[in-house]
Amino acid sequence: MRTNRRTFIKQVAVTGAAAAASGGARMVQAEAEIRPELKAFKERWQALPRQSGLKIKSIETFVQGTNLGLVRVRAEDGSEGFGQLSPFDADVSALILHRKLAPLALGADPYDADTLADRCIEANYKYPWSFVCRALCGLDTALWDLRGRREQKSVCQLLGGTAKTIPVYGSSMSRSIQPKAEAERLVRLRDEKGFRAFKIRVGKVCGHDQDEWPGRTAELVPTVRQAIGEKVALLVDGNSCYTPAKAIEVGRMLEQHRVWHFEEPCPYWELEWTAQVAAALEVPVAGGEQDNDLAQWRRMIRLRAVDIAQPDICYVGGITRAVRVAMMAAEAGLKCVPHSANLSLVTLFTAHLFGALPNAGAHMEFTIEKDGWTGGLYAPAFQVVDGRVAIPDGPGWGVTINPDLLAKAEKQISQR
């Protein structure tokens, strides 16, 4: 079935997704083709110095509402970096950061992100996993920014990548939109922004085989496929909707419409269900955005439950742990497309990581939705041009956080 699935991907790349040709070629690399790049990546990763001679002096949080929480870490020499707590219930993550993680991090070397990540997880073994990892993300991403600023390198460069533009897929987050209206807005974005790949939502979130409304998925997929044309890649997200039998049924329909990948078809915690679907279908199965336990990731990959690994940097605990997941996937010959479903800093983090990964997939996720809590967060903001975005090449994350947001936010500091 692996051969069949790779053949299917190649056929999609030829007949529909021509604009993703470079990404499509990367996506169908055999394991043997990934390995030389993986070897070089691992050598760079292992060669990164883990000691700076400095100590972490303070950890600050800036929380706005419940969605957004930023983190600033300062070292004793005054160098600093910004990161972000995982979006949503960020006020809870800030509490966890100050109470459970800051005592472990203060006084540590800011370059030793690997040791810190393990220390924060293991010291909180009674509290797995989600909020500890959501808080850890804020610390870890701030440390990478601090290091990049000190060394005058972007995070992508620290990881061995280079400043460049990367292809993105326009990601719809809506299940309330009518199929015809969804198709019309995707066509408009294709023509205005040059998107050559889109993702749409099918089924219902944790839907127990139910559609958002009867017949929506069966109408949506062919309507969108016909509207965007055969040269645009089409991806589909099930958000934990289906049992294996129903997922396979839906997957067969997706294959008929040359869908590029089928994301999270089954409840994400049911790894055996997802593995069953992946084994039955030719359309590649993607997943992992919710998973933050590295042992669970090893099981997922060993089961071949997914063809495309999708760790979320903010959910898994930061860049350091996301790199570990990406390397696990690369060792198994799998592509990695980190989940980045909003325009907070998570998409910025993802761009830097995506630009360095040896097994990066065809496109990075880029939401097409607008919301009120990410606007004006940092500058320069991403601009989609010809279906691509540029990885910032300045030091660290390469952006400036909006000072007005910092001034208005609810602040808390832990310090030595």
- Give the tens place of pLDDT for each residue, 164-194: 999 999 999 999 999 999 999 999 999 999 9
Residue 109's pLDDT is what? 98
Is 50 a domain residue? no
32 has pLDDT over 90: no
Mean pLDDT check: name the lowest of 11-20, 87-96, 148-157. 11-20
Q: pLDDT grade, residue 1 (50/70/90)?
A: very low
- Give the tens place of pLDDT for each residue, 355-409: 999 999 999 999 999 888 999 999 999 999 999 999 999 999 999 999 999 999 9
CA angle 307, 366, 134 (to 5 degrees): 75
Are 106 and 78 within one domain?
yes
Max Cα separation, the chain?
Answer: 61
Is 61 a domain residue? yes
Percent of the chain having pLDDT more than 90? Answer: 89
Residue 7's pLDDT is what? 54
Q: pLDDT grade, residue 37 (50/70/90)?
A: confident
Task: Decide: 283 and 254 in contact? Cβ < 8 Å.
Answer: yes
148 has pLDDT over 50: yes
415 has pLDDT over 50: yes
Is 51 a domain residue? no
Residue 278's pLDDT is what? 98
Mean pLDDT for 31-54 is 87
Q: pLDDT grade, residue 30 (50/70/90)?
A: very low
Are 143 and 226 within one domain?
no
323 has pLDDT over 80: yes
Are 195 and 118 within one domain?
no
Residue 271's pLDDT is what? 97
Q: Identify the CATH number of the domain in which residue 302 sits.
A: 3.20.20.120
Is 49 a domain residue? no
Are 211 and 109 within one domain?
no
Is 353 a domain residue? yes
Q: pLDDT grade, residue 13 (50/70/90)?
A: very low
Residue 19's pLDDT is what? 34
Are 203 and 266 within one domain?
yes
Are 282 and 313 within one domain?
yes
Are 261 and 296 within one domain?
yes
How far is residue 3 CA from its own chain's centroid? Answer: 27
Q: Identify the CATH number of the domain in which residue 92 sits.
A: 3.30.390.10
Are 251 and 345 within one domain?
yes
- Domain count of the fold of the chain: 2
Q: pLDDT grade, residue 347 (50/70/90)?
A: very high
284 has pLDDT over 80: yes
Are 179 and 136 within one domain?
no
Are 164 and 246 within one domain?
yes
Q: Which H, E and C letters describe the chain, residue by residue?
A: CHHHHHHHHHHHHHHCCHHHHHHHHHHCCCHHHHHHHHHHHHHHHHHCCCCCCCCEEEEEEEEECCCEEEEEEEECCCCEEEEECCCCCHHHHHHHHHHHHHHHHCCCCCCCHHHHHHHHHHHCCCCCCHHHHHHHHHHHHHHHHHHHHHHCCEHHHHCCCCCCEEEEEEECCCCCCCHHHHHHHHHHHHHHHCCCEEEEECCCCCCCCCCCCCCHHHHHHHHHHHHHCCCCEEEEECCCCCCHHHHHHHHHHHHHCCCCEEECCCCCCCHHHHHHHHHHCCCCEEECCCCCCHHHHHHHHHCCCCCEECCEHHHHCCHHHHHHHHHHHHHCCCEECCECCCCCHHHHHHHHHHCCCCCECCCEEEECCCCCCCCCCEECCCCCECCEEECCCCCECCCEECHHHHHHCEEEEEEC
Mean pLDDT for 258-284 is 97
Domain with 166 in it? 2-44+157-394
Q: Contacts by 216-224 with C-beta closer than 8 Å and gap 24+?
A: 216/175, 216/179, 217/250, 218/253, 219/179, 220/179, 220/182, 221/253, 221/254, 221/257, 221/259, 222/257, 223/179, 223/180, 223/182, 223/183, 224/179, 224/182, 224/183, 224/186, 224/198, 224/200
Mean pLDDT for 56-76 is 97
Are 178 and 278 within one domain?
yes
Are 200 and 91 within one domain?
no
The pTM assigned to this predicted structure is 0.92
